[in-house]
């Protein structure tokens, strides 16, 4: 079984770093190499190439030097977000002639809404991974591996249970997450709204912990890392879910998806119903959410699944 894996070249939402940490607990020699560490996750990559702001020639020189240095001491290259260390037209022939294996791991917005022709490059890798049974509609032959949650970091507790509940919404992109609709809906309900944006993750998590109810997104059809972190804290989450993806997830993992589904068109009614249900229902759904994360996003399960995929290459 190969024991040397490089995850690269981005750390989108901390998912690559979380996968590397999970693999290390299984004794895998895994490392994360990125073009540029993100603002609030600078300590997560093992190697930061600091390419931001450099011209094309310098970037290519650094990328090639890095790839050629990694090549003899790596068994599997695990790529994210449709990106590779060097241009794809050369990346995969070089890996094949060197006897190295590769994986393309998609994170959502890199594939959502794209045609099969636009995503055909993924077949150059030895395996493809998506993070949910919603994303698999774009890459039907991909393996499904949900993002792992750092369960030790998120201590669950019941929601505060305010008489006038606090809704927390943390958009990475206001248009894509439906932020204006969230604001409009909350203005029509007996709630307070806090929008969390541009904070270090540790500080943002404390804002999530203070929430009675979390509202994630209203467009994508599945939940993201924000919702996973909120569920790990035992907070009820409202987001837009595609029903077919819910059914496939529940069948695959043997657990009910506890998220309160809502769309832009029915958010006032759906969120209003959850508000009306009161603190006991928020606590019940929050506890179910934590149990769901422990089952579906458990790092041990995720690392075992990745090892299965690596072993099949």
Pick from 2, 312, 298, 270: nearest CA to 145: 298
Domain range holding 264?
166-296
Q: What angle do CA 277, 253, 140 make, to 5 degrees?
A: 110
119 and 171 co-located in one domain: no
142 and 29 co-located in one domain: yes
How many domains, in total, are found in the chain? 2
204 and 302 co-located in one domain: no
Q: Model's pTM, two decimal places? A: 0.92
Residue 308's alpha-carbon distances to 89, 227, 294, in angstroms, are 28, 27, 20
45 and 136 co-located in one domain: yes
Look at residue 105 and tell me if it is in a domain: yes
171 and 144 co-located in one domain: no
CATH of the domain at 258: 3.40.50.2000
Q: Which residues contact 198 (CB under 8 A, 6 or more apart)?
A: none
Is the pLDDT at 3 greater than 80? The verdict is: no
Look at residue 59 and tell me if it is in a domain: yes
Look at residue 153 and tell me if it is in a domain: no
94 and 201 co-located in one domain: no
* pLDDT tens digits, one per residue of 105-149: 999 889 998 999 999 999 999 999 999 999 999 999 999 999 999
143 and 184 co-located in one domain: no
124 and 243 co-located in one domain: no
Dihedral pair phi/psi, residue 104, rounded to 5°: -105, 125
When the pLDDT of each residue in the chain is averaged and rounded to a whole number, the result is: 94
């Amino acid at each position: 079984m190969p024991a040397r894996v490089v995850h690269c070249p981005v750390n989108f939402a901390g998912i690559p770093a979380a996968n590397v940490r999970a693999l290390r607990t299984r004794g895998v020699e895994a490392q994360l190499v990125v073009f540029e560490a993100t603002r609030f996750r600078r300590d997560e990559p093992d190697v930061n190439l600091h390419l931001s702001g450099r011209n094309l020639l310098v970037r290519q020189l650094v990328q090639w030097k890095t790839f050629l240095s990694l090549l003899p001491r790596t068994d599997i290259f695990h790529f994210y977000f449709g990106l590779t260390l060097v241009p794809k037209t050369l990346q995969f022939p070089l890996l094949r002639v060197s006897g190295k294996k590769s994986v393309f791991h998609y994170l959502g917005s890199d594939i959502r809404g794209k045609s099969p022709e636009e995503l055909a490059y993924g077949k150059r890798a030895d395996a493809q991974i998506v993070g949910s049974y919603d994303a698999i509609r774009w890459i039907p032959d991909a393996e499904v591996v949900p993002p792992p949650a750092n369960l030790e970091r998120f201590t669950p507790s019941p929601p505060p249970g305010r008489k006038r509940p606090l809704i927390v919404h943390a958009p990475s992109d206001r248009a894509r997450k439906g932020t204006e609709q969230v604001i409009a809906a909350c203005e029509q309900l007996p709630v307070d709204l806090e929008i969390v944006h541009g904070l270090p993750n540790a500080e943002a998590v404390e804002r999530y912990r203070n929430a009675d109810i979390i509202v994630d997104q209203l467009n994508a059809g599945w939940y993201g890392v924000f919702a996973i972190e909120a569920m790990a804290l035992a907070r009820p989450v409202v987001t837009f879910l595609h029903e077919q993806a819910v059914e496939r997830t529940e069948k695959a993992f043997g657990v009910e998806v506890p998220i309160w589904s809502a769309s832009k068109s029915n958010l006032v009614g759906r969120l209003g119903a959850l508000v009306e249900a009161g603190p006991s229902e928020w606590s019940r759904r929050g506890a179910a959410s934590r149990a769901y994360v422990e089952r579906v996003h458990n790092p041990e399960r995720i690392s075992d699944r990745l090892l299965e995929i690596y072993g099949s290459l």
